[in-house]
Chain A
Amino acid sequence: QQQVRQSPQSLTVWEGETAILNCSYEDSTFDYFPWYHQFPGESPALLIAIRPVSNKKEDGRFTIFFNKREKKFSLHIADSQPGDSATYFCAASDSGGSNYKLTFGKGTLLTVTP
């Protein structure tokens, strides 16, 4: 069964610190790995994504690190701000597959304390 595992379930960091959120997957056919964040009462919003042609993707304060051999990827949020407090979901899909399905992790609730 395709699974994406996410940890930790919750994370609290101080403002200015780097938050690190982790995911792992099992299906070797997965080749697209997005991260979404979701604020209370809102829908998931695409934050950043990586395809494993590279092992790192940066967008401002957000960086994805990808390890194909270990089937792991992580989101680093540098200089965390209180406004970053949200639930973060990692996901994975097989872009060459026929259904474009995203398989999501269970989420990490990030709290950034001022």
Chain B
Amino acid sequence: DPKIIQKPKYLVAVTGSEKILICEQYLGHNAMYWYRQSAKKPLEFMFSYSYQKLMDNQTASSRFQPQSSKKNHLDLQITALKPDDSATYFCASSRQSYEQYFGPGTRLTVL
């Protein structure tokens, strides 16, 4: 059974729209993260959360907003989408500062 679930697997959006990327982990971890991977910038850290509190935000834009409704959930809301946002978005989790495990990713294409 998958331990980290990301939905959807593929997502196509139009410029200017808003989308939410879903992440749930069933590893019992207290820390969750979002990373982004594109041809231009491989594996770039975006956010980290611990016990549902934001630890760090390395995105330059407020268009990216993480949302944690439960301790094992960390969704990513992206508003005013741009073609440059096209990338694969990976959710990851860990027990405190230890090994991070990645979910399967959501591949976002913005037209």
How many residue pairs bridge A and B at CB < 8 Å? 59
Decide: A101 and B45 in contact? CB cutoff 8 A: yes
Nearest-neighbor residue (CB-CB) of B105 within chain A:
A43
Which of chain B's residues have a CB closer than 8 A to the CB of A96?
97
Inter-chain pairs besides A100-B97, A102-B100, 13 sampled, C-beta below 8 Å = A32-B97, A34-B100, A45-B102, A96-B97, A98-B55, A99-B48, A100-B55, A100-B56, A100-B100, A101-B33, A104-B43, A104-B44, A107-B42
Q: Can you show 21 pairs from A to B with CB atoms below 8 A apart?
A: A32-B97, A34-B100, A43-B102, A43-B103, A43-B104, A44-B43, A44-B102, A91-B43, A95-B97, A95-B98, A96-B97, A98-B56, A100-B50, A100-B56, A100-B94, A101-B33, A102-B33, A102-B35, A104-B42, A104-B43, A106-B42
Decide: B99 and A49 in contact? CB cutoff 8 A: yes
Choice from B42, B45, B103 contacting A102 with Cβ under 8 Å: B45
Decide: B99 and A46 in contact? CB cutoff 8 A: yes
Tell whether B96 is near chain A: CB-to-CB under 8 Å.
yes
Which of chain A's residues have a CB closer than 8 A to the CB of B45?
101-104
